[in-house]
Structure formats: C-alpha cells, structure tokens
Structure 1
Amino acid sequence: MFTKQISYKELIVHIIVWLCISIFPLLTAYIDLGEIPSEMYLKQLMRPILFYVNYSIFVPYILLRRKLMIYIFVSILFLLLYNYVSRELMDTPIMNGIRNMNNRPERPGGGPFGMRHAIPMVFSFSIFLLGGIFGLVVDFYKRDRESKELENEQTEIKLQFLRNQLNPHFLFNSLNSIYSLVRSKSDSAPEAVITLSELMRYMLYEAKDEQVSLEKEMNYIQHYIALQRLRLKNTEAVKLNIKGETKNLKIYPLLLISFIENAFKYGTDFKGNTHIDIQIEVVDKKFSFYIENIIGLYKRDDKNSGVGLENIKSQFNYLYKNNYELTIDEDKSYYRVHLTLNLNDNEVHNNR
C-alpha cells in the first residue's frame, strides 16, 4: 500500500514537471513569433528521452554504483549524440518543407559552436541534468524509507528480546515464591499455583499485544502482589493503593512488574520485617506510579540482579521517549521509584 502511494505521488510530480517544461517554451515561442514553430513539437517529444535515459539508466546503473568517471564520459557522449541527431532531424527535407509551407525561412547555417547550436545544447543539458537530480532524489527517499523500516524492525526485535528476557526473570522469581510455600507445607500453595496460572495466561495471551487495557494491567499487578503476600508472614506492611479511573486507557504491558519484583525481593530486613508501599494514581490521563521498599536482608547486586531494571529502562526509552519521567532514589534505609507516564496518546475510543 505504501509503495503504491509513493508511485502515485511520483507520477503526479512527473506530470507537473513535464507540463511546465512543455508549456513554457511553447508559450514563449507563441508570444515572440505569434505562432508555434512545427519543429518545436518534435523537440518536445524528444526531450523526455534526455530526462529518462539519465533518470532510469545512467543514474541507477552507473552513478549510484560509484562509477563517476564512466558516468561523466557516457553522459557527454549521449548529449553530443542527442544534439547531433536532433539537429539532423530538424534539417530533413520534410521539416524544411513544413517551414516553407508556413512561409518561414530554412534554418540558417552556422558553425558547431554558434548560438544556433549552443542554446539547444544548454537546454538539453538542463533537461538531462534534471533527470539526474530526480533520480538522486528518488533514490535518497527510497534509501531513507528503507533505513527507517530497517531501524523499526531492529527496534522491534530488540524490544521483543527485552520482553523475552524479562518474562523468564519474572517466572523464576514467582516459582521461588511458590517453592517456599510448598517447602513450608503451606495451605496457600494451591492458591498460589492458581494465581500464577492467571498471571501466565495474561502474559502469554494478552500482554503480547502492543498495548493493553490499563485496567487489565492493574489486575495483573494485584494478582502478582496477592501471590507474593502468600509467602509473607506480615502482609500488613505490603500496601497497594490505586486511585483514579483506569478504564478506557491503554498502557504498554509488563513495564511496572520489574520494580515490584525488586521491591519484594529486597524489601524484607534481617528481622523479617517487610515494608512495601505502592501508590498508583491516574489524573487527567496522567499515570503516576510510586513504590517504596526498605533495603532489607539481601544486598542488591546491580551486576546480576539488575537485568530487569535495565531492560525496563530501555523499553521506556523506546516506547514513551519524551512522554515519561523516571526517578530512582536510594538511601541507607529505603529504595524509591517514581514514574509518570503521559497516556494521552493511548486513549481507547468507546466505539471500538
């Protein structure tokens, strides 16, 4: 579809250019002479040869293959040949007869470097040069379009790689949580397995879309926190507060889970105390996410455990560009993440 649109635009440009090239000299001749000489029609029919030989053959098959000297040589030969042939055609008995019928004198003689030959050569060179410029411009836009398409494909591949890298990380942490329940023979283990199945269903069948409903993403977060609470002794210190209208808005999936995973991983101190505070608010389509956890028993290993956070930062840079703000603050006791997203461009229309 895109190729057809480009071809259509190209065709329109060609038509406009040739109308200008054709009408201007004919109109000038009519103003100066009161009529249009018959040989000018033949010249107008021959001039596209100049344009399209350079546009379709010389530029793509010689110049763009970096054979500059060959291009210059064949261009000079072609222009000389074209001007010689066109001059000979103008001096045929048929053309002289037409001029006599119109009571116009035969073409005057002159040396090969006289004005009679210089002006047509300059004009033919201009048409030939215009064809070359068009060929270079079309090639430039073609390469630019292909470059952008390739860049988008590479970015999509990179994004998919980051997501695939994140999902096993999530599954590994979740299985660890269930394993701890099974090992302690907790009655919550079956419920944990069901909750995990719901999380995996969301990740496999819904989060594969480019964007998902913000409401479903919030449900996913709630299920994940419910799974983590099953393995904690003190669940009162795990707080989740969601404010605002989450319906009719979309968000890119699985962007927040790394922050929450790390909060549960590091948010328990050596006494077994847990402190995780998650605040989510939506105001005027502006999404605000805040999470705070104590720096607990396990020391953060940025080299080995920071894979999820680094990946999520890369995803934010690609997906939201300048439409997000992310600040991460850490002191001796607390680790805090504050994220804001502009969801204006992700609105779901009710008629969908």
Structure 2
Amino acid sequence: MHTLIWLCISIFPLLTAYIDLGEIPSGMYFRQLMRPILFYVNYLLLVPYVLLKRKLIPYIMVSILFLLLYNYVSEELIAPHFASQFRDMPKPPNNRPGGHLGVRHAIPLVFSFSIFLLGGIFSLVVDFYKRDRESKELENEQKEIKLQFLRNQLNPHFLFNSLNSIYSLVRSKSDNAPEAVITLSELMRYMLYEAKDEKVALEKEMNYIQHYIALQRLRLKNTEAVKLNIKGETKNLKIYPLLLISFIENAFKYGTDYKGNTHIDIKIEIIENKFNFYIENIIGLYKRDDKNSGVGLENIKNQFNYLYKNNHELTIEEDKSYYRVHLTLNLE
C-alpha cells in the first residue's frame, strides 16, 4: 500500500513537468526519491518517540531543525550536484530570482513541510486506531475476567445445593442415593468440560437442566408437582452456559411449604431464534438467607447484562404465594 501511494505521488509531478517542459529535469527524480524520508522520519520516529511521549516542545524544535537541514542538503548540496552530473550542466547559480531566502527556497520548504506533516498525521491516525483496538481488547478481557469470576462464584453455589440434596437422600437411607451421585457426576462433567466454552449447543444445556431436575426429584416425595415442559427445535442454536440454573436452584430451594408440598412449573419454548423461559414456584416457609442465597441470582443478572445486553428481557415477580421468573433471549 505504501509503495503504491508513493508511486502515485511521484508520477503526478513528473508527468506535470513533462507536459509543461517537454522533458523531466533530472533533479526531479532525486527529489521524488528524497521525499519519503520526510514522511517516514516523522511517521516512524518523531511522532511515536517524541510527540506521543508528550514532549511537544522538543518535537517542534527537532521538526524545524530537521526540515531546515533537509531542505538545505537536498536543494543546495545534492540536487544541483545530481543535475550537473546527469545533464553535464554547471550547478545552478545562486543569484536566481529570490536569492537564498527567496521564493525558490520557500516553495520547496512548504512542499517538504506538507509531506512531513502528512507523515505526522498518518502516524497519529495509526496510533489512534491502535489504541482503540487495544482498548476494546482490554475491555473484552476485563469482561471475560469478570464473567469468569461470576461463574466461579456460581459453580460452588450449584455444588452446595446439589450436595445438600444428596445428603438428604443419604440421611434418609434412600435407594436413590447412588443414582443421585451418578447424576451429579454427569452435571459436573458438563460444567467442567463443556460449559467452559463461550457458547454451547442449546440442546446440551437443556439436557443439563433435565439432569439437574432429575437429581432434585430424587429427594422429593411428590415429584408430580415438579413440571418441566420444553417445546421447540433446539438444533443449530447456541446459548451461554449455566445461565438458567440459578433460577431453577432457587425454585427447588424455596418452593416447598411447611407441609412438604412442592410446586415448581418450568416452561421453555423456542420459536426460531427466540428463547422463552418461564418458572413459577410457591413461596415456602423456609427462611431465605439474603446474604448468601442472593449471590447466585445477583451474579446471573450481571451475566445477562454482560452477555446479552439489549438482547434479553428479564422479569421477576413475587407475591404472597408465588415467585415467578420470565426470561426472553434472542439466540443466534
């Protein structure tokens, strides 16, 4: 890209000189070869190592000295020498109109300053986009770190609840205890090896929810009060993992009244890319520990805000008898 641009910049003045004069002065070839030096000294050296280091005064002074030195060397020393070498002509006299400080020096100085300034602008633009890209990458890394932190908080919460369920089975000497351990191992395998991906197949996440509900049903007497209804096609759809489990955990934890009655109704409906999740449970008399039980629910809200932003709607309702959660996601 740089080579192509410089070819275009160099050909234009050479072509103009040929049209006006019928020939191209030999000194022009050398000037076209020298001009990239102006650009790249500012682009690669002065702007990155002086100006962007917040050294404005040194940058201005060095730039002025460099431009004066460049024009003196190119216009007074090298260009006339090349012109006389290639055309067998004596060096141009210094008593041309304008003299040493006249128009013949001002025009090359202005032109060289334009090329030099272009290099500085280009360097600043490149630095801007570089910093913008790095800022976005850093922001994404920070989001991923925070999201991982939230997930690490959520996983122990899930494990504590599952172990409590198995403990209840073991304590009552239930024959379902071995099956519960196997089901828990399947759940942990999913969490450790598959849920670590950014997104998982929606079908796998649904299987994970079904296994979790099966584990919880083992410790309940009236399992018919736990309803799960999944409708729609899950293939070719992906979802961020472990987002729904907190709502289901809380439903099982608080959805049993003082008589042991349980009411948990979970409905999942997939219509094209729209994912609807609805869960309702009765509010039992089990005292809620707001300090600890709210960790999972608050984290899951933060995860939805990070991951789905404007592509989700979450509504939580609570009255004297029921606790309801309605979630809508736009899946890809």
TM over 0.5: yes
Q: Match for residue 122 of structure 1?
A: 110
Q: Match for residue 23 of structure 2?
A: 35
Note the C-alpha offset of 1:90.
5.6
* Counterpart selection for 1:145 from 133, 143, 165: 133
Give 3-state SS (helix, strand or coil) of 1:326's partner.
strand
Of stretches 226-235 and 168-177 in structure 1, the one that deviates more from structure 2 is: 226-235
* AA in 2 matched with 1:208: K
Q: Distance in 1 between matches of 2:284 and 2:4?
A: 72
* C-alpha distance 15-91 of structure 1, shift in aligned 2 (>3 A): closer
* Counterpart selection for 1:156 from 139, 144, 153: 144
* AA in 2 matched with 1:199: L
Q: Match for residue 217 of structure 1?
A: 205
* C-alpha distance 38-291 of structure 1, shift in aligned 2 (>3 A): same
- Equivalent positions of 1:170-319 (< 5 A) are 170-319=158-307
Is the 1:99–1:105 Cα contact (8 Å) retained in structure 2?
A: no
Is the 2:216–2:252 Cα contact (8 Å) retained in structure 1?
A: yes
Q: Match for residue 64 of structure 1?
A: 52
Of stretches 298-307 and 116-125 in structure 1, the one that deviates more from structure 2 is: 298-307
Give 3-state SS (helix, strand or coil) of 1:335's partner.
strand
Note the C-alpha offset of 1:113.
3.2
Q: Distance in 2 between matches of 1:299 and 1:94?
A: 94
Give 3-state SS (helix, strand or coil) of 2:224's partner.
coil
Is the 1:270–1:296 Cα contact (8 Å) retained in structure 2?
A: yes
Spell out, residue by residue over 1:65-96, the C-alpha distance to the aligned partner (whole angstroms, 9 max, x if none): 11100000010001111111112136645524
Is the 2:30–2:82 Cα contact (8 Å) retained in structure 1?
A: no
Spell out, residue by residue over 1:252-286, the C-alpha distance to the aligned partner (whole angstroms, 9 max, x if none): 21111000000111111222221110001111132
Q: Distance in 1 between matches of 2:98 and 2:246?
A: 85
Q: Distance in 2 between matches of 1:163 and 1:326?
A: 19
Spell out, residue by residue over 1:225-247, the C-alpha distance to the aligned partner (whole angstroms, 9 max, x if none): 11111111222211111111223
Note the C-alpha offset of 1:104.
12
Structure 1 residue 131 corresponds to structure 2 residue 119: yes
Identity among equivalent positions (%) equals 84
Of stretches 196-205 and 87-96 in structure 1, the one that deviates more from structure 2 is: 87-96
- TM-score, normalised to structure 2, is 0.93
Q: Distance in 2 between matches of 1:94 and 1:278?
A: 87
Structure 1 unaligned runs (5+)? 1-11, 346-352
Q: Match for residue 320 of structure 2?
A: 332
* AA in 2 matched with 1:256: L
Is the 1:39–1:90 Cα contact (8 Å) retained in structure 2?
A: no
Give 3-state SS (helix, strand or coil) of 2:23's partner.
coil
Q: Distance in 1 between matches of 2:260 and 2:79?
A: 105
* AA in 1 matched with 2:178: P
Of stretches 22-31 and 270-279 in structure 1, the one that deviates more from structure 2 is: 22-31
Of stretches 294-303 and 204-213 in structure 1, the one that deviates more from structure 2 is: 294-303
Q: Distance in 2 between matches of 1:303 and 1:324?
A: 26
Note the C-alpha offset of 1:27.
2.3
* AA in 2 matched with 1:113: L
* Counterpart selection for 1:49 from 37, 46, 54: 37
Q: Distance in 2 between matches of 1:291 and 1:91?
A: 83
Q: Match for residue 25 of structure 1?
A: 13
Note the C-alpha offset of 1:109.
4.9
Give 3-state SS (helix, strand or coil) of 2:309's partner.
coil
Note the C-alpha offset of 1:126.
0.3
* C-alpha distance 92-119 of structure 1, shift in aligned 2 (>3 A): closer
Is the 2:97–2:103 Cα contact (8 Å) retained in structure 1?
A: no
* AA in 2 matched with 1:237: A
Q: Distance in 2 between matches of 1:39 and 1:81?
A: 18
Q: Match for residue 68 of structure 2?
A: 80
How large is the RMSD of aligned CA atoms in angstroms? 2.1
Note the C-alpha offset of 1:318.
2.2
Of stretches 19-28 and 175-184 in structure 1, the one that deviates more from structure 2 is: 19-28
Number of corresponding residues: 331
* AA in 2 matched with 1:261: E
Q: Distance in 2 between matches of 1:150 and 1:114?
A: 53
